[in-house]
Chain A
Amino acid sequence: MPSASDHIVGTGVARTRDRGVVRIIKGVVLLAGAALLVSWPSLAANPYLVSAGVVVLNYAVFASSWNIMGGLTGYISLGHAAYFGLGAYGTALLIQNFDIPSFGAWFLAGLLTLVIAIPVGWAALRVRGASFVIVTIALVLVLALIFQSLRGITGGSDGLIVPRPFPDLLRPEHHATFYYIYAGLLAVVLAVWFVIARSRFGAGLKAIREDEDKAESLGIPTTRYKGIAHALSAYFVALGGGLYALWFGDLDPIMQFSVLLSAEVVLMALLGGVRFLLGPLVGAIIVGTALEYFVLNFGETQLHLVATGILLAVVVLFLPDGVLAGLSELVARFRPQATSIREMTAEELQNQRVSEVRPGSGVDADPTSSERSEQELAPVERSPS
């Protein structure tokens, strides 16, 4: 499997200067993107666009939380809609039945989902690959069945109305408020991902992704690590779901516990690139906007399913590392290439090697080292994989 570090090829002064330029461009793009995201509610021409922004941010929170598990461990779960639904229904039911203030219920529902997610994760993560995916799908399907059947509590397929947290806000202000709450949650999720990805724990998770057996034999407590990653990502998905309940105000088991929702989110994460911090966000913006467009223009027909399906197939077949990986490859292409023809002769290189080695110990200066460096003289050009 290629890893993200594969794309960085070659060394040299020209490259470092070049990389600085790229970094500046990246920074500018990021700042502009963040500024656009933050000011969207005031830029948007009408309340609908703000609400569409909330939908996209909801997807972004979901996909980024999913990515704590999916991106770092490589376990592709189609079951996170279950946690989304549990967070949403948990929030709604706690408000209705126990008179807990909206955001208290929201927080509590997240914790309750976490309590459920830990044993579920323990069971599901006993198996790998195909079986794992089957279990996660089954989780969503069985919860959909249960929440439809428990009519007395959940309202069944009639749906469940969630009391509004800010009853005196007008609709546009309601959307704008939730836009910022979602943006805050997204920032938290991204920060968590960022910290984990750079921690020892994250390194363990990535080792599981690359080769679980080897990771285990290296002493990484794979079961515990996977469990923690799963629980964390379930927790944040549940918080996203709870916010959705408070914002949208109307829940339906078919819509919340939907494998389709899971799959759309997985599509977003994959399309953006699961190895990148902002991959799921980029994917959510692309796919979320496209989904809104389809709902607006082809509302009643099932064409959005066809479009989602085709996009998913294309991403899986041709772009499994996401658009961000594709972009960085593209950038690499316009940088000076690491040539296969060395500007030094083999002899010069040999001399340089020897002079580098000599000041140190004599270990490398034995006759075998010349053999080894001859092997290393093979062209270093690596095709982008």
Chain B
Amino acid sequence: MVSGALIFQSLILGLMLGGLYALLASGLTMYFGIMRVVMLAHSAAIILSAYIAWRFATLTGLDPMLSLLGTVPVFFLMGFLTQRLLVSRLRPATMSMMSVLLTFAIALIIEGLLGYFFTGTQRRINLPYGTASVNVLGASLPVVQIISFLLATVSMAALYVVLKKTRFGWALRATIQHKEAAQLVGINTERLSGYGFGLGLATAAVGGAALSLQVTIYPSLHWHWIGPLMAIIVVGGLGSIPGAAIAALVLGTMRVMLEIPFGPTWAQTIFFVALFVTLMVRPQGFFGGRLAQRF
């Protein structure tokens, strides 16, 4: 018999994992909303950021979180350049298919370079609080998970404020909603699409640093993340950030809960089960709006 405390702990841990998924998936949603691009390199960028955090921490001995001061702007610029120099060159007619291949290529290049420079060895940051945990109502929660959950929450909140309260956010959402109409009211949608990509990749930088705290990293790790993230954005409805966030929380929790009876490997398949069920029942996703209809 599984004890109530274990279930409660799994529930909390699941929600925390879901929070991290939500942040990572929001970036993917952003690219898709702006350009109808499925960014396969997103999770490779996450791992890249995790590697930078690890390298930073081992070289300087400072907290890996400080690497964010550098990676967030750099990743923003990288995202901007990726969109302006590469993705925008694709033919509009075959954009959604070809962009997958293009971003797959970027993911391969990142994975290959990581493997070349840091070898395939598994890496882990040694933190003073690495093994510490906090006891909340009988549930023992690792500090690193709490930190990464907080980081994800803060970033999501920041993203929300930027998108809802600033002129930049309005313009970005206008671009997502209706590109031609946005152009008519004088928005430079080309450049804004670039900024949107930058924003998406900046969330990957944050997510990578959060990830580096709690897992062992290796170059091909991104394959384990891309599947769940893709499933989340389809289940949530492509292009809808709230949908992705809800799907992330639900699926993240289910995954951790299912680990109790089935073990981690089988629990992982919940994402794919959810993906196939979504396609059977509601191909446009469960929380998707108008955007998701055709894609």
- CB-CB under 8 A for A131 and B113, given A76-B97, A141-B223: no
In Å, the complex CA distance between A320 and B93 comes to: 12
Q: Is A134 an interface residue (CB 8 A)?
A: yes
Q: Contacts of B100 on A, CB cut-off 8 Å?
A: 76, 78, 130, 133
How many residue pairs bridge A and B at CB < 8 Å? 151
Instruction: Kindly provide the distance from the CB of A73 to the nearest chain B CB, expressed in whole angstroms.
Output: 11
Q: Is B154 an interface residue (CB 8 A)?
A: no
CB pair B97–A129 under 8 Å, yes or no, is yes
Q: Contacts of B227 on A, CB cut-off 8 Å?
A: 137-138, 141-142
Which of A126, A259, A260, A302 touches B115 (beta carbons < 8 Å)? Answer: A302
One digit per residue, 1 when the CB lies within 8 angstroms of any chain A CB and 0 when it does not, for chain B 50-67 equals 000000000000000000
Complex interface residues of chain B between 234 and 263 (CB less than 8 A to chain A):
234, 238
Nearest A residue to B100 via CB reads A133
Most chain B beta-carbon contacts within 10 A, residue among A139, A259, A306: A306
In Å, the complex CA distance between A310 and B279 comes to: 33
Instruction: Kindly provide the distance from the CB of A290 to the nearest chain B CB, expressed in whole angstroms.
Output: 14
CB pair B109–A317 under 8 Å, yes or no, is no
Instruction: Kindly provide the distance from the CB of B114 to the nearest chain A CB, expressed in whole angstroms.
Output: 8
Nearest A residue to B115 via CB reads A302
CB pair A130–B32 under 8 Å, yes or no, is yes
Q: How many residues of A contact B (CB 8 A)?
A: 46
CB pair A313–B283 under 8 Å, yes or no, is no
- Ranked 10 nearest A-B pairs via Cβ: A302-B115, A305-B112, A309-B108, A306-B112, A129-B96, A309-B109, A142-B272, A312-B105, A313-B105, A141-B227
In Å, the complex CA distance between A308 and B112 comes to: 9
Q: Is A64 an interface residue (CB 8 A)?
A: no
One digit per residue, 1 when the CB lies within 8 angstroms of any chain B CB and 0 when it does not, for chain A 239-280 equals 000000000000000000001100100110010000000000
Which of A131, A313, A320 touches B94 (beta carbons < 8 Å)? Answer: A320
CB pair A303–B269 under 8 Å, yes or no, is no
Q: Is A29 an interface residue (CB 8 A)?
A: no
Which of A1, A130, A139, A302 touches B111 (beta carbons < 8 Å)? Answer: A302
Nearest B residue to A317 via CB reads B89
- CB-CB under 8 A for A78 and B102, given A138-B272, A305-B112: no
Q: Is A145 an interface residue (CB 8 A)?
A: yes
Nearest A residue to B271 via CB reads A138
Complex interface residues of chain A between 125 and 170 (CB less than 8 A to chain B):
126-131, 133-135, 137-139, 141-142, 145-146, 148-149
CB pair A145–B101 under 8 Å, yes or no, is no
The chain A residues found within 8 Å of chain B, CB to CB, are: 1, 74-76, 78, 123-124, 126-131, 133-135, 137-139, 141-142, 145-146, 148-149, 259-260, 263, 266-267, 270, 301-310, 312-313, 316-317, 320
The chain B residues found within 8 Å of chain A, CB to CB, are: 32, 36-38, 40, 86, 89-91, 93-94, 96-98, 100-102, 104-109, 111-116, 120, 219, 223, 226-227, 230-231, 233-234, 238, 265-266, 268-269, 271-272, 275-276, 279-280, 283, 294-295
Which of B86, B91, B109, B265 touches A306 (beta carbons < 8 Å)? Answer: B109
Nearest B residue to A385 via CB reads B91
List 14 A-B pairs, Cβ < 8 Å.
Answer: A129-B97, A130-B37, A130-B97, A145-B268, A259-B104, A305-B115, A306-B109, A306-B112, A309-B104, A312-B101, A312-B108, A313-B86, A313-B106, A317-B89
